[in-house]
Amino acid sequence: MGKAHGPPPLVHRTADFRGVNSPLLRDGAALSGLLLSAAGAAGLSTAQPPTVHELPRDGLAVVLLLELGHIVAHTLPARELILLDLLLPAGRDPQKAVDVFTRKLGASESRSGRLDRG
């Protein structure tokens, strides 16, 4: 097994937004636009347009694949919750992408985590 060289190539960031009382939780087109805005704010290049998946127990999963990584939003309307998952190239600021969601959602509570990957 080879040794890793240099800093980790990816950053994994999560953010949970609670108390989101918004039609956005069920609006795939609006969430797709929000993911694209978040990617743009962080200076990320997309690999393809966002895809929207309706979840069996209500809510959505919206996936935006990047040239390296992804941004995914899962909504749980019954819990007024959006879970955001970002896997980004190191050197990009994931907080810029999270801030797009923070400004738009008006969540009553949020929390986040970060992990270097690779």
Q: What is the dihedral of CA 50, 82, 25, 86, to 10 degrees?
A: -10
Please classify residue 89 by burial: count the beta carbons closer than 10 Å to its beta carbon, then call 0-12 exposed, 13-18 middle and 19+ buried: middle
Domain that residue 40 falls in: 20-117
**Whether this model's pTM surpasses 0.85:** yes
Has residue 3 been placed in a domain? no
pLDDT digits (tens, 9 = 90+) for 27-75: 999 999 999 999 999 999 999 999 999 999 899 999 999 999 999 999 9
Residue with tokens 């919206």: 62
3-state secondary structure of 94: helix
Domain at 50, CATH number = 3.60.90.10
Q: How many domains does the chain have?
A: 1
Q: How far apart are CA 90 and CA 98, in angstroms?
A: 16
